[in-house]
Amino acid sequence: MSLNHATQSSQLTDEHFKAIGKLVVEWANIEFALRSTLTRLLLTPDFLGRTYTDQMSAARVQEAINEAIDLHIGRYGYGLIPRKTIEEIARINKRIAKLRSTRNKFAHFCWCRWDDENIFGMNFSGGLPGTKKHERSHLKIKISEASSLHQEFCEIVKRLNQIAQKLPELEENGIKSKLKFL
């Protein structure tokens, strides 16, 4: 039986469900913003970029962003995108990478009510106590901490969207006139 259904006292409250849901939903927005950022870094029309990045895991999209950043620095020398913008994308991408394991816990752990202010989640891994696997297999978090994480996720999305607006956009309309055919 799942944790949340084990006993009456372990059932998540609406406030608990809301906290978990807000984090998971906002992470989806982060992933969409990352895909848009990669598309713009690669100077690709949005629809074509989405078609390509849909096939990639979010972690792979982040790797591709790092590769695109290296390309812009090494090949174009900040000639297409300013250094400040490239550095900010790299900083945000690094922050998102650090947040990924926390997000994964909210999306994949089984959660239950600890008390009105705390929730407890675990993945039921086979890690022995004292091992890294065991230490990563559970999380107790205050609703206020989850709310702060949600705010951080929202700020990341907001900033990535602002940055994407500054990046070059190749519009689909008229793209054929810009292509050279042999």
- How confident is the model over 114-145, as pLDDT tens digits? 999 999 988 877 666 676 766 767 889 999 99
Q: Rounded distance, CA 42 to CA 119, Å?
A: 41
What residues does each domain of the chain span? 14-110+142-178
Whether residue 131 contacts residue 29, with contact meaning beta carbons closer than 8 Å, is answered with no
Contact 124, 137 (CB under 8 A): yes
pTM given for the model: 0.86
Over residues 42-72, the pLDDT tens digits come to 999 988 999 999 999 999 999 999 999 999 9
d(CA 99, CA 107): 13
Matching residue, tokens 């900010």:
88
Closest CA to 34 of 77, 78, 68: 68
